[in-house]
A and B are shown apart, each in its own frame.
Chain A
């Protein structure tokens, strides 16, 4: 059961063509589900080692099912490249983690504050490395992507990118999140301007200001509510106990207030954030060009929200199902037990808990990873393809094969740091 939303149209020799191009996604859900299921099962059996093969198969499927002007994309990456990348990164990550853990032992003599400081510093280092990994992983995927035989490419220094990302993140944190669109627009610009199809680069002409409007819609209500909540909590305690003007109290109050507010606010904030991301995607896509082609997106927030919501609901449903079966089984055991001995003396047995709990957890993990591929990954690709518009002219003859060398191995750092994405 497959559907092609755009029929193959063989173009005449690559002269300039003014027309409307579109991305088409060929939906073969059954095949994809089978790949995802195999990935899940093998992944668990091999304690995750299979993931390099799993990722490669999924990418190959997704890439080859997206076509532009009738020609599908192609993923030429190999699992062994990902494995090699991982092993190399491991060789330097293990010493790094070892130093960090052993530093705990040495620093504890100074006091637990020293350990906390070291952990913060280490966390910041990992955050910086995360962006390094993202940029390098993107380069790997671009160089393994072919369209009409032409390879993608990415220029630019990953280290410079990581520093810029770190800097913009710092600004975002200092401004309590207000500067987030700055981070998003700037980093997107760096990434896109360094993205090439063959020997031709993408161009991005956008700026931060148009994004700020959309961001305020999402950020302002949430921040105001948090501030109000905190203010009320502090004022309330002050009115009760004027003597309790201790410094520790104030900070713990602030944290407590923010915590409670966020818990109540969480679903609303999530929806607002997803709304912003759709808004941002439409803007950024609209400011992106390639040669004579202009992009545009009609991606709607509600489709994004529904994609994630349905995934969480489905996962929740699976969890409930598992819990129900366990509950019934447990009740059964209790009844059996009390028939034999004294009712009411049944104690939870930790070993039994492990024996039952771990397989159930694995089942849930496997099912939800398959659901993620089918409900989230696949539908995101589908929606983006459906709503992306490409218009203008391009001279295909002018786009030549990239002369840049492609990295021989891939994504080790991104894998080791659990960077997400496809």
Chain B
């Protein structure tokens, strides 16, 4: 016994809508128009819902091999016979659990890719650093130095560079002594910038910027020597360049994630990028160890940095002044222990009068060359 249901039929060839009678036959739905002509026969197993079946709404059907034909059945009709003949039409309820599983898989794969990239970028940066020529590093460093110094200038009236003659001479002598045993393609150019902030930076190509706040806080030339040796170690190991390449890699990832909606590169000036370069733990540990080796090889006393950091912590604690220094040179338990271990005896880095001269290096200032 065949049931007859009223409906509408669009054949997918033209936009004409045919009011039809749908006969439930043994193999499928026979679609018959108002004149009695059979327009189509839709097999039960080929039926698919064109949209989710909801009670009270018309049922819209299509074929699995969809060419656009649509059959709409009005909601008032009792459709039990149809559900029996084509049970797959009702089977869409299980979406819930499947959806959660799919989402979990997605989250896991995104997490895996993310972790892989985060670990992969530094390795890639290491590999690429080898390819960078020294001349490029030097050109970049000198270009960035101006910018870096500009970030810390507080007093617009005074010049940014400290250049008292006696102080400069003392600084040059100190630099020479520390750098004496170092074999490297780079030549070190140390500049003292006029700023109350306590910090020191190594830029690509051998450019080292020491902020005068650091010299003010130091109580002996050994401490400044330790900082210099540490920064020189960064230069020799090319950590600044590696950091820049790594940051570039992360920047590319951000570009891709945010879809270029953040204007590319506007915000990250080169100097700022370098300041916020977080050297990896390995970089820092390496610079510590190498720096101490440099000092020992030069016959100078080591351990100045540990005194310096302890004083910094005591005087400023967690305040912003210290924060800058500590964020780029984190004082972890391991690091403190390693620093203490390396403390050894040696000569003073500078004589008394030279040290005093260095402390007054900011009595005269100049503009950046």
CA distance A324 to B11 in the complex (A): 59
Is A94 located at the chain interface by the 8 A CB criterion? yes
Is A108 located at the chain interface by the 8 A CB criterion? yes
The size of the chain A interface, using a CB distance under 8 A, is 60
Asked if A399 contacts B244 (CB within 8 A), the reply is no
Which chain B residues border A64 with CB–CB below 8 Å? 51
Asked if B252 contacts A399 (CB within 8 A), the reply is no
Which chain A residues border B2 with CB–CB below 8 Å? none
Asked if A100 contacts B14 (CB within 8 A), the reply is no
Asked if B257 contacts A13 (CB within 8 A), the reply is no
Is A115 located at the chain interface by the 8 A CB criterion? yes
Picked from B16, B70, B136, B248, the residue with its CB within 8 Å of the CB of A14 is B16
Q: Which of A11, A94, A150 has the most CB of B within 10 A?
A: A150
Closest to B317 in A: A347
In whole Å, how far is B245's beta carbon from the nearest beta carbon of chain A?
7
Which chain A residues border B248 with CB–CB below 8 Å? 101-102, 104-105
CA distance A345 to B144 in the complex (A): 38
Asked if A101 contacts B140 (CB within 8 A), the reply is no
Closest to B18 in A: A13
Closest to B70 in A: A149
Asked if A149 contacts B12 (CB within 8 A), the reply is yes
CA distance A50 to B110 in the complex (A): 10
The size of the chain B interface, using a CB distance under 8 A, is 56
CA distance A119 to B260 in the complex (A): 12
Asked if B244 contacts A150 (CB within 8 A), the reply is no
Interface of A is mostly: mixed
Picked from B14, B143, B258, B265, the residue with its CB within 8 Å of the CB of A397 is B14
In whole Å, how far is B351's beta carbon from the nearest beta carbon of chain A?
39
CA distance A109 to B134 in the complex (A): 13
Which chain B residues border A12 with CB–CB below 8 Å? 19
Is A416 located at the chain interface by the 8 A CB criterion? yes
Which chain A residues border B66 with CB–CB below 8 Å? 76
Asked if A49 contacts B256 (CB within 8 A), the reply is no
0 or 1 for each of B96-110: is its CB under 8 Å from A? (1 = yes): 000100010011011
Which chain A residues border B74 with CB–CB below 8 Å? 8
Asked if B103 contacts A46 (CB within 8 A), the reply is yes
Asked if A93 contacts B12 (CB within 8 A), the reply is no
Picked from A50, A110, A396, the residue with its CB within 8 Å of the CB of B14 is A396
With A50-B103, A74-B51: A146-B260 Cβ-Cβ less than 8 Å: no
In whole Å, how far is B145's beta carbon from the nearest beta carbon of chain A?
11
Is B50 located at the chain interface by the 8 A CB criterion? yes
Closest to A402 in B: B68
Q: Which of B12, B16, B50, B74 has the most CB of A within 10 A?
A: B16
Is A55 located at the chain interface by the 8 A CB criterion? no
Asked if B264 contacts A71 (CB within 8 A), the reply is no
CA distance A101 to B255 in the complex (A): 10
Q: Which of B19, B67, B103 has the most CB of A within 10 A?
A: B103
Asked if A417 contacts B260 (CB within 8 A), the reply is yes
In whole Å, how far is B35's beta carbon from the nearest beta carbon of chain A?
10
Is A398 located at the chain interface by the 8 A CB criterion? yes
Picked from A74, A147, A418, the residue with its CB within 8 Å of the CB of B259 is A418
Which chain A residues border B17 with CB–CB below 8 Å? 10-11, 13-14, 71, 148, 396
0 or 1 for each of A251-267: is its CB under 8 Å from B? (1 = yes): 00000000000000000
Asked if B252 contacts A347 (CB within 8 A), the reply is no
Picked from A14, A150, A398, the residue with its CB within 8 Å of the CB of B68 is A150
CA distance A188 to B255 in the complex (A): 30
Is A239 located at the chain interface by the 8 A CB criterion? no
Closest to A148 in B: B10
Asked if A93 contacts B256 (CB within 8 A), the reply is yes
Is A224 located at the chain interface by the 8 A CB criterion? no
Asked if A42 contacts B103 (CB within 8 A), the reply is yes
Is A243 located at the chain interface by the 8 A CB criterion? no
Closest to A75 in B: B51
Picked from B18, B60, B68, B263, the residue with its CB within 8 Å of the CB of A119 is B263
Asked if A150 contacts B8 (CB within 8 A), the reply is no
Asked if B110 contacts A47 (CB within 8 A), the reply is yes
Is A401 located at the chain interface by the 8 A CB criterion? yes
Is B318 located at the chain interface by the 8 A CB criterion? yes
Picked from A104, A108, A109, A197, the residue with its CB within 8 Å of the CB of B15 is A197
B:1-28 near A, CB below 8 Å = 8, 10-19
Asked if B252 contacts A74 (CB within 8 A), the reply is no
CA distance A417 to B318 in the complex (A): 41
Kindly list the 6 A-B residue pairs having the minimum CB-CB distance in the complex, ordered from nearest: A14-B16, A399-B15, A109-B139, A149-B68, A418-B259, A149-B10
**Other 5 A-B pairs with CB < 8 A, given A49-B107, A123-B263:** A48-B257, A49-B106, A147-B15, A149-B10, A417-B260
